[in-house]
Amino acid sequence: MLHEREEEEEEEEMDKQQQQQQESRSSSNKKVDLGVIATWVKKHASLYEAATRHPFIESIRNGTVDLSSFRRWLGQDNIFVRAFVPFAASVLVKACNETDDSSDMEVILGGMAALNDELAWFKKEASKWGVTLSAIVPLAANVGYCSFLKSLMSSEVEYTVALTAFWAIEAVYQDSFAYCLEEGAETLEELKETCYRWGNDDFGEWCCTLEERANRRLQMASEDVRKKAEAVLLRVLELEVEFWDMSRVGI
Ligand SMILES: Cc1ncc(CO)c(N)n1
């Protein structure tokens, strides 16, 4: 009897160990599913949060935003988007030169089509808010960000690195403005169109597709290129924080 009981306990112990091994295998699989970019967003969560939950964005979401801050942001962002167009075009050129996968080109082209509407939207929105776009001078944070974009256009910068920056730039705006459209947000009615411009679900889905394309390239990239891409992601997040800072009055 005692011998049989010991055998049963041994079998139960074996089953338990196999169960634990199975669970650890499936949890490690979950880690693989995260993807390189989501792993970096998790690793640098405080900087990502600083870029996507900035006080300027919080003030839009809770309805307390100073409208002169908003006007300043609008005038500066129009300048940024005009510098972003050639950067996006340079990512498209790198995609055509460096990848065999034509779906990257289609995803990037999709983003560029939106940029065309965006330039027209800034003109309309500026006249709604009495902002004379032609009179706006780029402030220091904007000059710095635009020159960073220009540096990424160099042929020395790998497609995978530029694609990661492209994703980060778009994803910060999508995440920030979607936050202002969430249930319970108190965003002013007259600011909802701006938030919707980047916060809408279609743009959100496009950003996810862009993230998948970037992850695919990052997975197959060398360690050196992955390191450069991570550094560029962090730099974009820092520049986004400085851009929001610049928009607040008196800075
Ligand atoms: C500063 C800045 N970052 C990202 C975007 C997204 O297009 C934008 N319009 N402006």
ipTM of this complex prediction, to 2 decimal places? 0.98
Classify 250 in phi/psi space as left (phi over 0), alpha (psi -120 to 50) or beta.
left
Please pick, among 158, 170, 211, 240, the residue that the annotation labels catalytic.
Answer: 240
Q: Which helix (H) or strand (E) holds 93?
A: helix 67-98
Give the separation between CA 46 and CA 163, rounded to whole angstroms: 22
Q: Is the pLDDT of residue 118 over 60?
A: yes
Please give the pLDDT value at position 27.
56
Q: What percent of the chain has pLDDT over 90?
A: 82
Q: Which of 207, 225, 198, 201 is nearest to 107 (CA)?
A: 207
Decide if 23 is catalytic. no
The CB density around residue 190, as the number of other CB atoms within 10 Å, is 11
Q: What would the pLDDT profile of 134-151 be if each residue is shown by its tens digit?
A: 999 999 999 999 999 999
Pocket test for ligand 1, best of 243, 247, 248 (most atoms within 8 A of CB): 243
Ligand 1 centroid from CA 172, angstroms: 8
Amino acid at 210: L
What is the number of the ligand 1 atom nearest to the C-alpha of 76? Answer: 1
The whole-chain average pLDDT of the chain stands at 92
Q: What would the pLDDT profile of 44-74 be if each residue is shown by its tens digit?
A: 999 999 999 999 999 999 999 999 999 999 9
Token readout for 133 is 């776009």
Please give the pLDDT value at position 58.
98
Residue 156 sits at the vertex; the CA angle it makes with 153 and 159, to the nearest 5 degrees, is: 65
Q: What would the pLDDT profile of 145-169 be if each residue is shown by its tens digit?
A: 999 999 999 999 999 999 999 999 9
